[in-house]
Structure 1
Amino acid sequence: MVIRRTRTEFWGTDPQRLETPGFSFHLMAANPPEDEVQTHMHEEAHFVLVLSGAYMSSAKHAPVISTTPLLIFNPAGTTHRDRFLGGRGRFLAISGGDTEGFGFATSLRDLYALQVATRVALDFERQNLSQLQLEGSVQQLLAACSPLTSDESGRASQPPAWLRDAFEMIFISDDPDLSVANVAAFAGVHPVHLARVFRRYLHCSPGEYLRGRRLERVAAVIGAATASLADAACATGFVDQAHMTRSFHQTFGLTPGDWRSRRAEQDVSPIQSG
């Protein structure tokens, strides 16, 4: 049975919440065990910005499990079971808005949208909020994922085109030898400048993002149960299986073998309906 959730219902504690006529904003901490998060749908569209923790999502473009910057958009009626590994994490949820015709759930690979959502979260934490500012931010987010909007000329503080190229390169690359220096050379900028601008928009260093993406690929490879752990380590750029195991455990709190067992025992790719 699919559980229906209203605009203000999410799994987690909700210490900071604000309502405007068209939207609700929640800065939340995940607290229920992940097994308690059941397949559900929201009556209204919503964004989820993952602030910390390992998040499992079935949205298009989302890694099977992620610790790198992640912004998910779920149109109204999307059926899913997205949740945090171990039930531990923090997130910003924004619900509401007219999203008719917006299609399917997706992970937004739009650096401007990530920056807008992160700014809302930071303003929440600093208690620096206004209804006008919040609603303006949501409209910017909706424009970023609207199938009817392609003109970006009106956006302020757009990330440079080379940063979007660098971000995309890291996201899609399966080269185990890819380095930050390679990414900087591809973008045509100095590595120090890459790091400075990367942190401005993604709030992490290029090296942190690259390591996170490698671990996300490890999770996908070993979760598919088609490669040995040693082969997975080699294919994703780790020195050896022991190095991969240490990094995986430090990030996700369980070993690659434990993760493979979990994937075999339970379905973490629920059906989507948009």
Structure 2
Amino acid sequence: MVLKRARTDFWGSGPNGRQAGGFSFHVLTANAPEDEVRRHTHDEAHFVLVLAGGYMSSASGAPLVSDTPVLIYNPPGTTHRDRFHAGRGRFLAISGGTGAEAAARCMRDPYAYRLACDIADRIDAATAFGLEARALQLHGIALPLSSDEARTTAHPPAWLSRAVEMIFTCDLPELSVGSVAAEVGVHPVHLARVFRRFLGCAPGDYLRGRRLERAAAMLGRGVASLADVAHSAGFADQAHLTRAFRSRLDITPAQWRRSRHVARIQDAGADVRQGPAEPF
């Protein structure tokens, strides 16, 4: 049986949220271990902005576990079991609004991400009008027919979306920030400045996070050894991969793979601790 969740009913705790123009806004801390989160449905549309922690979502385009800026749009009627790895995380939830029936998806539009971050940063200080306006803009971007109306002159340059898409989809280990900047036709320093303005992180951080996400997905499928996963995901070696997992998810790659109920694969030194410095 699928559990129905009310508008303000999330697996998270925090101060009372805000209500504005048919929308509710909450910044919450995850409060349930991932195995306690049940499959559930939401009648209304909602957005989830991940502020901290490894979010695991079934939304189209979402990584198996997040380590890069993540904004999820769930249309009305979404049924899922989205949750945080180890039950640890922090997120903004925006509920309300209508929309066409469609699949839940990960939104990689930098302008949408910046709007959601503005709401999280100013949830207590913003006027009700300002909160409602930003929520409507988010819906405008999520719904293709009204996206042009939702944008303002503050939206990022077109090349930023291309850069984000390039980092998100490219599986070449040799991909670098410099090569991304060259591909979209801007100087790396300008790329870094605009990236941080709209996504809140450096392009190198995003690239490292995406590599960890790719490695986590490969480990979850159980198709390769740790050494092969490290190489395919763009890490210097297996030790580099292990350090990244420990730093970001507080778990080793081998433990992550076992937690996904994948059969053991013979690895050389699955918990290696030493290795060269990260390349970025």
TM-score by length of structure 1 reads: 0.92
Partner of 1:35: 35
CA distance in 2, matches of 1:16, 1:176: 45
1:146 alignment counterpart: 143
Matches within 5 A, 1:164-183: 164-183=161-180
2:200 is the alignment partner of 1:203: yes
Structure 2 equivalent of residue 194 of structure 1: 191
Within-5 A mapping of 1:1-274: 1-99=1-99, 101-124=100-123, 127-151=124-148, 154-264=151-261
2: distance between equivalents of 1:161 and 1:148?
A: 18
Q: After superposition, give the CA deviation of every residue in 1:172-220 in whole Å (9 maximum; x if it has no partner).
A: 1000011111111112111111111100000000000000000000001
Mapped contact 2:14–2:28 kept (Cα < 8 A): yes
Asked if the contact 1:54–1:252 (Cα under 8 Å) also holds between the matched residues in 2, the reply is yes
1:167 alignment partner AA:
V
Does the CA-based 8 Å contact 2:27-2:120 persist in structure 1?
A: yes
Question: Counterpart in 2 of 1:272?
Answer: none
Query: Aligned pair in 2 of structure 1 residues 153, 11: CA closer, same or farther (>3 Å)?
Result: closer
Deviation at 1:152, TM superposition (A): 5.5
Query: Does structure 1 retain, via aligned residues, the 8 Å contact 2:59–2:106?
Result: yes
Relative contact order: is structure 1 or structure 2 higher (C-alpha 8 Å, sep ≥ 6)?
Answer: 1
Counterpart residue identity of residue 57, structure 2:
S
Letter in 2 for 1:155: T
Distance 1:153 1:224 in 2: 39
Q: What is the aligned partner in structure 1 of residue 278 from structure 2?
A: none
Identity, % of aligned pairs? 56
Please, what TM-score do these two structures have when normalized by structure 2? 0.90
- Where structure 1 has 5 or more consecutive residues not aligned to the other structure, the ranges are 266-274
Deviation by residue 1:90-123 (Cα, 9 ceiling, x = unmatched): 1000000122x24110111111110110100010
Deviation >6 Å, runs of 4+: none
- Between the aligned partners of 2:136 and 2:146, the Cα distance in structure 1 is 12
Residue identity in the other structure for 2:18: L
- Secondary structure of the residue aligned to 1:149 is helix
Contact 1:102 1:146 survives alignment (8 Å) = no
Mapped partners of 2:72, 2:259: distance in 1: 23
